[in-house]
Amino acid sequence: MNEIQEELARLMKLGGGILRPVEVVKAAKPKKSPLHDCFEWDDEKAGHEYRLNQARHLIVSVVVVASGGEMFQAHISLKTDRYSPGGGYRAMVDVLSDKELRAQMLAEALAELEVFRRKYKDLKELAGIFAAMKKARKPA
């Protein structure tokens, strides 16, 4: 276990089995803390990053109501967009109507489902969902 993991484990133990972000930041403040370099301590830079996160949250919180009353997310950030300088979001309707972008979105969704499956594989109550996920991965 590396020193960051050890420090997080120590904080979790102090927190009665719960790791609280506020306690992690507090413990990271001293320059000698193994967690210190994981944070931006320049308030101007950190403030800007916080506002960027707020903007991201705002963008993904916008929903569109279709004529049938179904709601869907108005914007999506594809992996290629996230790794481009500055990142970015696309209109969901544009992604769904473009064959290549739609295929990229589907590949990302299936990868996220695999992460979900690995995380919750021990919950037998989800076996039906995992079976449906496996079926969705097979080409049509």
- 135 with 103, same domain: the answer is yes
> Taking each helix axis from N to C terminus, what angle separates 127-137 and 99-120, rounded to the nearest 10 degrees?
150
pLDDT at 139: 65
Say which residue, 66 or 16, is predicted with more confidence.
Answer: 16
Q: How many domains does the chain have?
A: 3
pLDDT tier for residue 1 given thresholds of 50, 70 and 90 = low
- 79 with 52, same domain: the answer is yes
Distance between first and last Cα of the chain: 43
Q: Can you give the residue range of the structural domain that contains 73?
A: 42-91
- Could you tell me which residues come within 8 angstroms of residue 103 by beta carbon, excluding any fewer than 6 positions away? none
Pairing of strands 63-65, 90-91: unpaired
In which region does residue 76 sit, left (phi positive, over 0), alpha (psi from -120 to 50) or beta (all else)?
beta
- 77 with 111, same domain: the answer is no
- The reported pTM is 0.74
pLDDT tier for residue 140 given thresholds of 50, 70 and 90 = low
pLDDT tens, position by position, 28-59: 999 999 999 999 999 999 999 999 999 999 99
pLDDT tier for residue 99 given thresholds of 50, 70 and 90 = very high
- For residue 25 the two structure tokens come to 């930041």
| H or E segment and range at residue 107 | helix 99-120
- For residue 58 the two structure tokens come to 């705002």
- 46 with 80, same domain: the answer is yes
Q: Averaged over 78-91, what is the pLDDT?
A: 90
